[in-house]
Amino acid sequence: MSDHPQTMCPRFEAAFEILGKRWTGLIVRGLLQGPRRFKDISEMIPGMSDRMLAERFKELEAVGVISRHVYPETPVRIEYQLTEKGKALQPVMDAVQHWGETWCFKE
């Protein structure tokens, strides 16, 4: 055994800082299906408040995982979609789905 403690990779830590927040994975999973309006995602995740959804959208936009598109219509339409960076999470979300199906809620 080493005398020096091992540290976590800073990039791994940064990834979990983003993805480890409550609701974030569910938001990403919902957006993997395509662009969605705020109301659409809110309905997909009924246990999350609109305030929390707005906060997570801002965080994910700030780190480049999602983008926000405003359509100048009447009424104004706003859609959120994954960026290329966000779409790259598809295999991660699929792996989590598979892990959940294998290990969660087994009797």
Terminus-to-terminus CA distance in the chain, angstroms? 37
pLDDT score of 7 more than 90? no
Q: Where do the domains of the chain lie, and which CATH numbers do they carry? A: 10-103 (1.10.10.10)
Non-local (6+) Cβ contacts of 26 within 8 A are 44, 45, 48
Is the predicted pLDDT of residue 2 greater than 80, yes or no? no
Give the pLDDT band of residue 4 (cuts 50, 70, 90): low
pLDDT for residue 40: 97
List, for residues 17-43, the tens digit of each pLDDT value.
999 999 999 999 999 999 999 999 999
**107 and 91 Cβ atoms separated by less than 8 Å:** no
Across the beta sheet with 77-82, the strand order is 36-37, 77-82, 66-71
